[in-house]
């Protein structure tokens, strides 16, 4: 499985739009891996995870052919993960996809509302509504839908994705996983090859519910390994960074994550599993 991080920032991007904070000023100077667009990923060139406004820039900078992408997993309705306006580009006149082209968006009932209102005018867009602990098929992928601890008005879920050989956990915009997820894993005993974890707070200890910092990421790694659903070959990656996080520049954060055996994402990072 090939997993590519197209964007790796939280809602504001890094440097954040309009921002004159010390971090953003510093990163505008240094550039490099600290510059981040909003989160999106692509698996094997044909399965998209999330659909932010930065999709246009990701497709251009990574030379992606969306004609090959038939499925898109939506984590929740926040606009850094789902920018429905750009789905309307599928309508006649804005683009000319192949006659048989269709793309299915997988989303919870709440997150799917914004997509549902478009379906009548955009027959090439399909919606597959999912709920927590559903196991659904998306072409060659089997996708398990797990609950997220995040703004409940956004219909948040996280995804466990397998292509039949390798298995990924995509856990963005969530707090430390809920007890019922650990119980589910205890029962089903999956084996994860890649674990992508929310790290909005970077090195700042969490002082609210809904995201994670490196401390929760390290705890997740420890607990998954102890449970036997991850091992020394499992790749753990911190992702979804905000300029409000502490020590968020790549050069400051990555060595601290490395001490925990965790990689630090950057836009364009590719992992071959
Ligand atoms: Zn987000
Ligand atoms: Zn800033
Ligand atoms: Zn969110």
Q: Give the number of whichever ligand sits closest to the CA of residue 172.
A: 1
**Residue 110's pLDDT is what?**
98
How much is the average pLDDT of 188-217?
97
The pLDDT tens digits for 151-180 are 999 999 999 999 999 999 999 999 999 999
Return the ligand number nearest the Cα of 240.
Answer: 1
Q: Ligand 2 centroid vs 206 CA: distance in angstroms?
A: 19
Q: Is the pTM of this model over 0.95?
A: yes
How many angstroms does the Cα of residue 80 sit away from the middle of ligand 1?
A: 5
The two structure tokens encoding residue 149: 């601890």
Q: Give CA angle at 83 (175, 168), nearest 5°.
A: 45
Cα of 149 from ligand 3 centre, angstroms? 10
Q: Which residues pair with 42 in a beta bridge?
A: 4, 48
Q: Residue 44: what pLDDT? A: 96
Q: If pLDDT is split at 50, 70 and 90, which confidence band does 70 have? A: very high
Mean pLDDT rounded to a whole number for the chain: 97
CATH 3.60.15.10 fits 2-265, yes or no: yes
Q: Are 220 and 260 in contact (CB under 8 A)?
A: no
Q: Measure 49 CA to ligand 3 centroid, in angstroms.
A: 14
Place of tokens 């990701």: 58
Residue ranges with CB less than 5 Å from ion ligand 3: 78, 173
Residues 6+ apart with CB under 8 A from 190: 144, 160, 162, 167, 229
Tell me the CA–centroid distance for residue 82 and ligand 3, in Å: 10
pLDDT of residue 92: 82
Q: Give residue 9 CA to ligand 2 midpoint distance, Å.
A: 12
CA separation for the pair 25, 30 (Å, rounded): 9
| Complete edge-to-edge strand list for the sheet that includes strand 71-73 | 125-130, 103-108, 71-73, 47-49, 40-43, 2-7, 270-272
d(CA 234, CA 167): 10
Judged by its nearest atom, the ligand closest to the C-alpha of residue 243 is: 2
For residue 55, the tally of other CB atoms under 10 A from its CB is 23
Domain boundary assignment for the chain: 2-265
Band the pLDDT of 80: cuts 50, 70, 90: very high
Residues 132-153 have a mean pLDDT of 98
Residues within 5 Å of ion ligand 2 by Cβ? 16, 19, 21, 24, 243
Q: Which helix (H) or strand (E) holds 182?
A: helix 179-188
Pick the ligand that lies closest to the CA of residue 78.
3
Task: Provide the 3-class DSSP secondary structure of residue 39.
Answer: coil
Average pLDDT value for residue range 251-259: 98
pLDDT at 76 over 90: yes
Compute the distance from residue 79 Cα to the ligand 3 centre, in Å: 8
What is the spatial distance between Cα 42 and Cα 206, in angstroms, rounded to a whole number? Answer: 29
> What backbone phi and psi angles, to 5 degrees, belong to 198?
-60, 135
Percentage of the chain with pLDDT > 90? 99
- Cα separation, 271 vs 166, in Å, equals 12
Instruction: Choose among 202, 217, 223: nearest CA to 260.
Output: 217
* Ligand 3 centroid from CA 100, angstroms: 33
Q: What residues does the ion ligand 1 have nearby, CB within 5 Å? A: 10, 80, 173
Across residues 24-37, what is the average pLDDT? 98
Higher pLDDT, 56 or 92: 56
Residue 242 confidence (pLDDT): 98
Which pLDDT band, with edges at 50, 70 and 90, does 190 fall under? very high
Among 189, 245, 272, CA closest to 8? 245
pLDDT at 11: 97
Q: How far does residue 205's CA lie from ligand 3's centre (Å)? A: 18
Q: What is the mean pLDDT of residues 57-62?
A: 98
């Amino acid at each position: 499985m090939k997993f590519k991080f197209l964007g790796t920032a939280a809602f504001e991007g890094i440097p954040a739009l309009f921002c004159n904070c010390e971090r953003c000023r510093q990163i505008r100077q240094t550039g490099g891996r600290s510059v981040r667009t909003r989160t999106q990923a692509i698996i094997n060139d044909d399965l998209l995870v999330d659909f932010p406004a930065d999709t246009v820039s990701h497709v251009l900078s990574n030379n992606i052919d969306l004609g090959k992408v038939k499925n898109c997993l939506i984590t929740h309705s926040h606009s850094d993960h789902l920018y429905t306006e750009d789905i309307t580009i599928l309508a006649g006149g804005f683009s000319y996809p192949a006659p048989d082209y269709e793309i299915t968006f997988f989303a919870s009932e709440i997150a799917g509302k914004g997509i549902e209102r478009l379906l009548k005018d955009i027959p090439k867009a399909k919606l597959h509504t999912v709920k927590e602990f559903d196991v659904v098929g998306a072409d060659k992928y089997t996708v398990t839908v797990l609950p997220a601890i995040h703004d409940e008005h956004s219909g948040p879920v996280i995804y466990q994705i397998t292509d039949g050989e390798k298995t990924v956990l995509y856990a963005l915009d969530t707090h430390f996983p809920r007890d019922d997820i650990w119980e589910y894993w205890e029962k089903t005993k999956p084996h994860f090859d890649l674990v992508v974890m929310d790290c909005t707070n970077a090195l700042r200890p969490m002082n609210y519910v809904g995201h994670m910092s490196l401390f929760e990421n390290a705890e997740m790694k420890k607990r998954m390994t102890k449970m036997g659903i991850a091992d020394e070959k499992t790749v753990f990656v911190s992702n979804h960074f905000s300029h409000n996080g502490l020590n968020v520049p790549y050069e400051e954060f990555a060595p601290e994550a490395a001490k925990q055996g965790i990689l630090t994402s950057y836009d364009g990072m590719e992992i071959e599993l």
